[in-house]
Structure formats: structure tokens, C-alpha cells
Amino acid sequence: DVKVTQSSRYLVKRTGEKVFLECVQDMDHENMFWYRQDPGLGLRLIYFSYDVKMKEKGDIPEGYSVSREKKERFSLILESASTNQTSMYLCASKVFGGLNGGYTFGSGTRLTVV
């Protein structure tokens, strides 16, 4: 089975800190994604990547950046954490091409910014 591992289950950070959320997948998937999930707002796409060093903005990229230096790893960076970035962050991966099933998600990182 494909496994997507997020490095932290819970994080508490202070306003203004630079925060790194790490995601690693072990099945050689080309496509990787970062979503945040908030009550009443559903899952919203922050950034995605379809290849090493390639990245595209999703629907809510402001305040975030990403890094994909290796195929298996996709990092989400909060440049200067703010309280409105308190959320559940979900990483997902998917094989290239549209007819091979859905995302495999990581277990999520619940980030609290105080």
C-alpha cells in the first residue's frame, strides 16, 4: 500500500515563526498536494507539485511556499506563521494520469499558532 507520512501529528508554534511541514510518500508518485481543512470550509488546496522542482499555486497560496527537491518529499513552509493559519494540514499524493484512483492522504498535521 502507498504510504504518505507527515512528520508531525500536532504542532504548536508562535506567531511570526517560520514553520516547516514535511510530507514523504513511498510509491514514486509524481503528483503531491497540500490542503488545509477547516470546519465549514472543507478542504482547500494550497499548493501542488507534478514533478521535482515543479510547483503550482492552488486556491489559497498566500502566506505559504513549498519545496520539492526530491520526488518523494514535498514540504510546506509557513514563512511567518499567523493565527489564521491554525488548521489541519493534509498532504496527499497521486500517480500521474487521471484514471488511477484517488489521492492517498497522510494522517494530517494539526497546527496551532498562538
Partner 1 sequence: EDKVVQSPLSLVVHEGDTVTLNCSYEVTNFRSLLWYKQEKKAPTFLFMLTSSGIEKKSGRLSSILDKKELFSILNITATQTGDSAVYLCAVEARTNAGKSTFGDGTTLTVKP
Residues at the interface with partner 1 (CB under 8 A): 31, 33, 35, 40-45, 48, 50, 56, 58, 90, 94, 96-99, 101-108
Rounded-to-5 percentages of helix, strand, coil across the chain? 5, 55, 40
Distance CA 31, CA 107 (A): 18
Q: Which is nearer to partner 1, 17 or 26 (CB)?
A: 26
73, amino acid identity: R
* Least distance (Å) between residue 94 CB and partner 1: 5
Distance CA 114, CA 16 (A): 10
Tell me the three state secondary structure of residue 28.
coil
Q: Which is nearer to partner 1, 17 or 51 (CB)?
A: 51
Q: Which is nearer to partner 1, 14 or 97 (CB)?
A: 97
With beta carbons less than 8 A apart as the criterion, state whether 80 and 16 touch.
yes
Q: Which is nearer to partner 1, 18 or 109 (CB)?
A: 109
* Least distance (Å) between residue 102 CB and partner 1: 4
* Least distance (Å) between residue 81 CB and partner 1: 22
